A and B are shown apart, each in its own frame.
Chain A
Amino acid sequence: MNLTMREIRGKYRRTIFGQLWSLANPLALMLIYTVVFGFILRIEPGKGDPSGLDSFALWLLCGLLPWTFFATVLSQGVGSLVGNQNLIQKVYFPRILLPLSLVGSSVYNWLFEMVVLLIALTILGSFVLPWLPLLLVIMMLLAVFATGIALLVSVANVFFRDTQYFLSIILQIWFLLTPVIYPVSLVKTTSDSAGGLLGTPVIFIDIYQLNPLVHFVEVFRNLLYDNRWPETADWVWCMGASAVSISLGLLVFRRNERLLAESL
């Protein structure tokens, strides 16, 4: 759609490196996280099983790229309606195109990043090619999941402008609650040793795993870094979360679509 192209083309206008800028952010994050967590804090994600890969940087990127995509869609999506106020009040078109075009341009950037990651993985010995179809499936699921939430927050932001500020805090917390910079196994060990919370048999990891992104990141890591079939439970979580998120997002968006022009 043309609005997506507007985002993509407009974004890197008048920059020297153009599209390469979309790699700059993940690369910078990778560098700093690798130094801090891989080198200083010595987090050991373990070797890829069965790929045998052993590189904190690559392991990190397999989770970081999906996360940055997710965070970008949300943090940009939240302003997609408010930021296009003049358009909404002057022209009629399906409003949903505004958040969707943002998702579109983020997907485009993400694809670009993932291709670079795939090349790096292949060079360093991950036999990732057979998993490509599944990778595309999980990428699609994550995009759907992110879209649903983006629709919700974009509408919420029209009525409550605090949403955008809230969101940036929530995203920071969410990031730390997602196993991007540390492996889930670490959480498991800690939570097992801590035992039941408040005298119940519920242990921390049970609550931790309610976060759909835990499962998304696991699937991405399994496919890209380990080269193995992810657990069925993870797949079910991802599909369920996407379905719930998109239907809720669409429902809320439909309900409020007609009110947008006067509420802005």
Chain B
Amino acid sequence: MSELAVRVDRVSKTFRMYRERNQTLKSAIMRGRTSVHDTFLALDDVTFDVPVGSTFGLIGSNGSGKSTLLKCLAHIYSPSAGSIVATGRVAAMLEVGSGFHSELSGRENIFLNGSILGMSKKELTIKFDEIVDFSGVEQFIDQPVKNYSSGMYVRLGFAIAINVNPDILVVDEVLAVGDAEFQAKCKVKFEDYRMAGKTVILVSHDLHSVRTMCDQAAWLSHGKLIEVGVAHSVVAAYRKSLPSPAVGD
């Protein structure tokens, strides 16, 4: 295999499940503890490599640890054990439009959100037209975003994130946003990414699109890695494990 974009090496992540949680100083002082908890293993010893320039899909049922893994990849969580090494700039799109300031206009939010995602002002100025164009909200760009329709809001957020132009793009279920036309635009954009030799890691429940878009895939179940390899065979194996008519594509 060629160079690695991301190496996920024996990553585990535990969370505390609180049976009783009392985050107050009183309980800390009076009883010397703030909570009673069990630990929950969200990711259990997951190891895989993502080669540069591939599109990598993560599949699995709800609660299997896909999003936790993505958050680890995006540095939002830090793994409890193991390590994740990524080469190049990572941008994560876990939720679009987070960090918008509702009183500010679309234009101001592009600059605000772009800089939160790690773009410089200069880059943003260059990309500005492209972002506006992609989002399709040029008519309302000087309106405060609180007046946007939810579709416009999401599209603007997505347009910013996708124009950050990272080496590695981490995407969580955002393909489901917008109308059919916008989704088509997104697919084209992902295709461009692949052409440009960038790495995309995405989570999706849409097995069909995982199969068509991804080269490689990993199947997670209850925090464990079940299978990793060529997208076709992993998707096929996952589908086999499901009760038959449950998922169509």
Nearest-neighbour CB distance to chain A for B195, whole angstroms, equals 26
Mark the stretch among A1-9, A19-27, A215-223, A245-253 that contacts chain B.
Answer: A1-9
Q: Which residues of B contact A9 (CB under 8 A)?
A: 103-104, 108
Q: How far is the CA of A162 from the CA of B30 in the complex (A)?
A: 15
Which of A14, A91, A159, A161 meets B92, CB within 8 Å?
A91
Q: Are A1 and B25 in contact (CB under 8 A)?
A: no
Q: Are A10 and B101 in contact (CB under 8 A)?
A: yes
Q: Does A185 contact B (CB under 8 A)?
A: no
Q: Does A211 contact B (CB under 8 A)?
A: no
In the complex, the chain A residue whose C-beta lies closest to that of B99 is A87
Which of B15, B78, B99, B115 meets A258, CB within 8 Å?
B78
Nearest-neighbour CB distance to chain B for A212, whole angstroms, equals 24
Q: Which residues of B contact A161 (CB under 8 A)?
A: 23-24
Give the one of A86, A92, A166, A259 with max B CB within 10 A.
Answer: A92
- Chain B positions 105-139 with a Cβ under 8 Å from a chain A Cβ: 108, 111-112, 115-118, 121
Which of B25, B77, B112 meets A2, CB within 8 Å?
B112
Q: Are B95 and A160 in contact (CB under 8 A)?
A: no
**Per-position 1/0 for A78-94, Cβ under 8 A of B:** 00000000111111110
Q: Which residues of A contact B24 (CB under 8 A)?
A: 160-162
Task: Contacts A2-B111, A92-B92, A93-B118 given; indicate if A261 touches B76 (C-beta within 8 A).
Answer: yes
Which of B25, B34, B98 meets A91, CB within 8 Å?
B98
Q: How far is the CA of A6 from the CA of B108 in the complex (A)?
A: 9
Q: Does B187 contact A (CB under 8 A)?
A: no
Provide the main secondary structure of the chain A interface: helix
| Number of chain A residues close to chain B: CB under 8 A | 27
- Chain B positions 69-95 with a Cβ under 8 Å from a chain A Cβ: 71, 74-78, 90, 92, 94-95
Task: Contacts A162-B26, A262-B15 given; indicate if A86 touches B98 (C-beta within 8 A).
Answer: yes
Q: Does B28 contact A (CB under 8 A)?
A: yes
Q: Does A13 contact B (CB under 8 A)?
A: yes
Q: Are B116 and A91 in contact (CB under 8 A)?
A: yes
Nearest-neighbour CB distance to chain A for B106, whole angstroms, equals 14
- Chain B positions 139-156 with a Cβ under 8 Å from a chain A Cβ: 144
In the complex, the chain A residue whose C-beta lies closest to that of B91 is A92
Q: Are A91 and B99 in contact (CB under 8 A)?
A: yes
Give the one of A87, A91, A163 with max B CB within 10 A.
Answer: A91
Q: Which residues of B contact A88 (CB under 8 A)?
A: 76
Q: How far is the CA of A90 from the CA of B70 in the complex (A)?
A: 10
Q: Which residues of B contact A89 (CB under 8 A)?
A: 76
Q: Are B28 and A2 in contact (CB under 8 A)?
A: no
Give the one of A10, A90, A161 with max B CB within 10 A.
Answer: A90
Q: Are A262 and B77 in contact (CB under 8 A)?
A: yes
Q: Are B98 and A90 in contact (CB under 8 A)?
A: yes
Task: Contacts A6-B101, A10-B103, A261-B76 given; indicate if A93 touches B28 (C-beta within 8 A).
Answer: no
Q: How far is the CA of A92 from the CA of B71 in the complex (A)?
A: 9
Q: How far is the CA of A9 from the CA of B104 in the complex (A)?
A: 8
In the complex, the chain B residue whose C-beta lies closest to that of A159 is B23
Q: How far is the CA of A162 from the CA of B29 in the complex (A)?
A: 13
In the complex, the chain B residue whose C-beta lies closest to that of A84 is B99
Q: Are A162 and B95 in contact (CB under 8 A)?
A: no
Q: Which residues of A contact B15 (CB under 8 A)?
A: 262
Which of B95, B103, B108, B115 meets A90, CB within 8 Å?
B95
Nearest-neighbour CB distance to chain A for B144, whole angstroms, equals 8
Nearest-neighbour CB distance to chain A for B172, whole angstroms, equals 9
Task: Contacts A89-B76, A90-B94, A162-B24 given; indicate if A5 touches B112 (C-beta within 8 A).
Answer: yes
Q: Are A3 and B76 in contact (CB under 8 A)?
A: no
Nearest-neighbour CB distance to chain B for A81, whole angstroms, equals 14
Can you pick out 18 interface pairs between chain A and chain B where the beta carbons lie within 8 Å of each other? A1-B115, A6-B101, A6-B108, A10-B101, A10-B103, A13-B104, A13-B144, A90-B76, A91-B92, A91-B99, A91-B117, A159-B23, A159-B34, A160-B25, A160-B34, A161-B23, A162-B24, A262-B77
Question: Which 8 pairs from chain A and chain B are nearest by CB?
Answer: A2-B115, A90-B98, A13-B103, A92-B75, A258-B78, A90-B95, A261-B76, A87-B99
